[in-house]
Amino acid sequence: MGQFLNLTVLVTVLVLTTVGTAYSGSFNEEFDLTWGEHRGKIFSGGKMLSLSLDRVSGSGFKSKKEYLFGRIDMQLKLVAGNSAGTVTAYYLSSEGPTHDEIDFEFLGNETGKPYVLHTNVFAQGKGNREQQFYLWFDPTKNFHTYSLVWRPQHIIFMVDNVPIRVFNNAEQLGVPFPKKQPMRIYSSLWNADDWATRGGLVKTDWSKAPFTAYYRGFNAAACTVSSGSSFCDPKFRSTFADGESQVPNELNAYGRRRLRWVQKYFMIYDYCSDLKRFPQGFPPECRRSRV
């Protein structure tokens, strides 16, 4: 897919007793720059953040708060031009060898060729649940919103409010699901030219450095965990219907149509369809991977 497709988008209730507020706005208040020295910057009064990569180092940040379920939104404008070899990662993760993790990874490409959006879900330290997509727009020209909706019954990956992937809770099939470990938000920009672009065939062109990605518009309608206590934003509560049998807002009839549209036209890899990788049969959660 050498050109960006010019298509138009078909354009468990939580038992938490203490109610907090929505977290949005200042990167100074919500995040810490964690590595890369001067390569990570917060500016415009805390409304903007940038990460840069050069030959010496990349950079990254993480949230000050830990979350246990919620909707996390972030607007990103990715590295422009020849971004081959670079990876911009934006994800939720806990810590330790049995960590949980929910990933967006944006794999750079040569000028004029599309980014690959790589998604994955880890539960109790085990991942290998990849789906990959092209996007229906150029993610380097403008900011776009990338959202993770994490509930006890499923995880929804969204781009500009369009569902692209649903990972359902399949614990009844013996599949671990992230629901007990609070996670922080992380993001990083780093060099991965040993695998990121065409399996490592295309290397980073350091003459184009520094490479820079930009962030704004963070919002978390979520439940936070601190010192053993949970605080749940009422906006997140409102995205649940009155019981698990009800359809969540993101997956109403229109949302399911948009999900099918993305998966039909833009999905380029699905581990649940990889017969070479799973010759003895697909993982059990693949039975519930479609909406």
Domains, in order of start, for the chain: 27-286 (2.60.120.200)
How many whole angstroms separate alpha carbon 66 and alpha carbon 182?
Answer: 6
Single out the catalytic residue among 66, 101, 250, 285. Answer: 101
pLDDT at 189 over 80: yes
pLDDT at 6 over 50: no
Single out the catalytic residue among 105, 130, 171, 244. Answer: 105
Taking the model in full, what pTM does it have? Answer: 0.88
Q: Is 105 annotated in the active site?
A: yes
- Assess contact for 271 and 167: CB atoms under 8 A: no
How many whole angstroms separate alpha carbon 72 and alpha carbon 149?
Answer: 7
What is the pLDDT at residue 130?
Answer: 98
Residues of the chain with pLDDT > 90, as a percent, come to 78
Measured CA to CA in angstroms, residue 21 lies from 24, 52, 180, 223, 233 at distances of 9, 32, 22, 9, 5
How many whole angstroms separate alpha carbon 42 and alpha carbon 57?
Answer: 18
Q: Note the pLDDT tens digit of each residue in 222-276.
A: 999 987 777 887 766 655 443 444 456 788 999 999 999 999 999 999 999 999 9
Q: Is 130 annotated in the active site?
A: no
For 252, half-sphere exposure in the C-beta direction (CA atoms, 13 angstrom radius) is 7
